[in-house]
Structure 1
Amino acid sequence: MTMSMFTCKPTHPFLQIQAGNSRLSSRLRPSKDKVVVVMGATGTGKSKLSVDLATQFNGEVVNADKMQVYEGLDVITNKITAEESCGVPHHLLGIKHPSADFTCTDFSNMASSTVASIIDQKKLPIIAGGSNSYIEFLIDNEAAGFRSKYDCCYLWVDVSMTVLHQIISDRADRMVEKGMVDEARQMFSPNADYSTGIRRAIGVPEFDYYFRLEPHVNEETRAKLLQEAIYEVKINSCKLACRQQDKILRLMHDKGWDIQRLDATDAFLKYGKESNKAWKELVLKPSKAIVSQFLKSSDPKLHNNGTTLKAMVTSTR
C-alpha cells in the first residue's frame, strides 16, 4: 500500500488571538519530513526489513553500512542482491573506489543529500545499516542540522546473541560457498594496508596469513589454515555484532534515542514457511504498525514503552 500523504506535507493550523481585538487569524505550521531508520547487528535481517517497509510505504533505501559503500567484494560485504532488493532503489551502495577513504562526514553529506532527493520525489527515505557511528553522526551532528529538518522513527531488529552467533557462523559458511575466499584473494597483496578502504572489511585481513603460506605448504596444511581463517572471520563477525548491539543500547540509554526493539529471534529459530510466518508476525507486522502511526503523527516522540507498542500491535490483529 502506498501512503497517500506523500502527495503533500501535512500542516497543523492553530488560532492566534491578536492583542487589542477579538480578531482570529490562522497560521500554518508545517511538520518535519519523516525518515525511518532500521538498525541492528550484522545478520539480523535489516536489509530484508528495509525492503519490506519500502515496498509497503513507497520508500527508497539509503545504505548505512561503511563497507557496502565500496565497489566490489559483494559476497564479503554481504551486499543485497538485485533479487533481494525486489526493485526497491538502494542508494550509497558500491559507490566508492575500494581504496578510497569514506568518513562519517562524507557519509553525512551524501546521506543528507540523498534523503532530501528521495523526499522531493514524495517517497519515504529508509536509512538501513549496521554502521551506527555513521547513523549517529548523521543525526546528531549539529552542523548538518538533520534533527531540525526531519523526524525519525528508529527500528531495531534484534536477535538473541546466542542465536545470532550461530546465524553468523552459518552465513560465513554460505559466503565461502559463494566465493568469499576468491574475493579475498583478489585483494591480497604482501604489502596490503588493512586499515583503509574496503580492506578493513571482515573477511579480508583474516585470510592474509593463509594466502602468504598457501603456495609453500602441503594440501593438508592448506586446508587447516583455510579453516582457521574462516573461523577467525566468524569470531570477528560475532565480536562486531556485540559492538553493534552495545552501541544501540548506548544510543537508547545514554543519548535517549527512542528506538523500537523488534525481537526476530523466533523467526531465525524456525525454517521455511514457519520462519517466514514468524518474521511477518514478530517483525514486519509491528514494524508496519509503528511506521504507519509515525507517518500519521506530527509528534516526533513515538511509543516510548513496551505497553504502548504492544497495545498498538494488538489493535492491528
Structure 2
Amino acid sequence: MRMSMSICKQTSHLLHIPTSGIDLKDLCRWPQKEKVVVVMGATGTGKSRLSIDLATRFPAEIVNSDKMQVYEGLDIVTNKITKEERCGVPHHLLGVVDPNKDVSATTFCTMASLAVNSIVRRGQLPIIVGGSNSFIEALIDDEEHEFRSKYECCFLWVDVSMPVLNSFVSHRVDRMVERGMINEVRNMFNENADYSRGIRRAIGVPEFHHFFRGESLISDEETRARLLEEAINAIKINTRKLAHRQRKKISRLKKLKGWKIHQLDATDAFRNRGRESDEAWENLVAGPSTEIVSQFLYNFHPLVYSNLMGMRALKAAATHT
C-alpha cells in the first residue's frame, strides 16, 4: 500500500488546531512528562502511511525505528518511504548509518533518545515508527526506566489479518522487483559478503546470493530463470515469516508486558482497491488514530473531526465554484 501526494493533500490541516506562535508543550499542558506516539505493526501494514497521516494533522516529526531502514542505501529492498511520500515531514534515523556497520539496540536507543529530545525541544510531537519491535522495546523499557521517566507513550498498532497480509506482501515483492530491486542488490553483491552484518541482513539480499553467483557461470536461460524465481519466492516466504514474528511480538508486548496498545484493524483497507481502500483506511485507521492521539495530547476530541467525508465534499464543492 504505497502512498501518493493526494494523501498528503487530503490529510493536511484537517484538525485546524492553531499552532502558530504556540509551543506544543504549553498547548498540551504537560506538567511532568513529554509525550511520544509510537506506531507499530508488521511489515507491509501501512505504518509509514499512518505516521504521515498523523504528522500532517499534528505538529510532529518522525523517528524511524526500523533496523534496516536506518542504514544508507537499498531503498527499494528496505522499502524506505520516498521523499515525495514524506509530505515534507522531517524524518530522523532514516538512511543515516554506514551499510557495512552494525547498529545494536543500545546504539539505536542512544540515537533515538537524542532525536526524540531534539524534537521535543522544538515543541514538536515525536512519532516513532517502524517494524523492529525489539528496538522499540529496548528504547521504551530500558533497564533504568529512563525513557519512561521522561516520556508518556501512546502506542498504535496497525494490524492486518495474516491471510490478507501474506497476499499483500507477496505482491509487494513483485512490485519491488519491477521497481529495480534485483539491480539494486546486484550493485552491492560480493561473493564473500557476510550476511550477518549491516544492511546485508535485510530480507532481499542473501536470497539473491546463489542467483548472482551463478549468473555469469550458467549460460542456460531456463536454469537462470529458475534460480531467479527461487530467490524471489524465498524473499516472499521470509517476508511472510517476518510479518508473523512481528505480529506475535506486539501481542506479547500487549499481553505479557501490559503495554496499552491501541489495535487498529486495517484489513478492509487492504482487501479493497482505489477509493474504497482509501475510505476504509480513513474510517478504520487514520481517523480513529487521530482521535486517540487528540485525546492523548489535548484530553479532548477536536470538534472539526466529526465527518471527514462531509469535509471532503465541501472542499471539492468549494474548489469547483
TM-score bracket for the superposition, by shorter chain length: 0.7 to 0.9
Contact 1:38 1:50 in 2 (8 A): yes
Distance 1:187 1:204 in 2: 9
Distance 2:105 2:26 in 1: 30
1:112–1:3 CA distance, 2 compared to 1 (3 A): farther
State the TM-score, normalized to the length of structure 2. 0.86
Q: How does 1:6-155 map to 2 (within 5 A)?
A: 6-9=23-26, 30-143=31-144, 145-155=146-156
Equivalent residue for 2:236, pick from 234, 237, 242: 234
Amino acid at match of 1:290: I
Q: Which residue of 1 aligns with 2:268?
A: 266
Distance 1:188 1:144 in 2: 41
Amino acid at match of 2:254: M
Distance 1:32 1:297 in 2: 15
Contact 1:10 1:30 in 2 (8 A): no
Q: Which residue of 2 aligns with 1:18?
A: none
Amino acid at match of 1:100: K
Q: Which residue of 2 aligns with 1:174?
A: 175
Distance 1:6 1:182 in 2: 46
Distance 1:160 1:92 in 2: 29
State the TM-score, normalized to the length of structure 1. 0.87
CA deviation after TM superposition for structure 1 residue 316, in Å: 4.2
Contact 2:24 2:124 in 1 (8 A): no
Distance 1:41 1:187 in 2: 27
Contact 2:55 2:89 in 1 (8 A): yes
1:268–1:3 CA distance, 2 compared to 1 (3 A): farther
Contact 1:10 1:31 in 2 (8 A): no
From the CA coordinates, give the structure whose radius of gyration is larger.
1
Moved over 6 A (4+): none
CA deviation after TM superposition for structure 1 residue 131, in Å: 0.1
Identity of aligned residues (%): 60
Two-structure CA RMSD over aligned residues (Å): 2.0
SS at match of 1:151: strand
CA deviation after TM superposition for structure 1 residue 216, in Å: 1.9
Equivalent residue for 1:296, pick from 298, 302, 314: 298
1:8-57 Cα distance to aligned partner (Å, 9 max, x none): 44698xxxxxxxxxxxxxxxx92311100000000000000001100101
Unaligned runs of 5+ residues in structure 1 are: 13-28, 299-310
SS at match of 2:85: helix
Structure in which a larger fraction of residues adopt strand: 1
1:121-153 Cα distance to aligned partner (Å, 9 max, x none): 111100000000000000000336000000000
SS at match of 2:62: strand
1:9–1:31 CA distance, 2 compared to 1 (3 A): farther
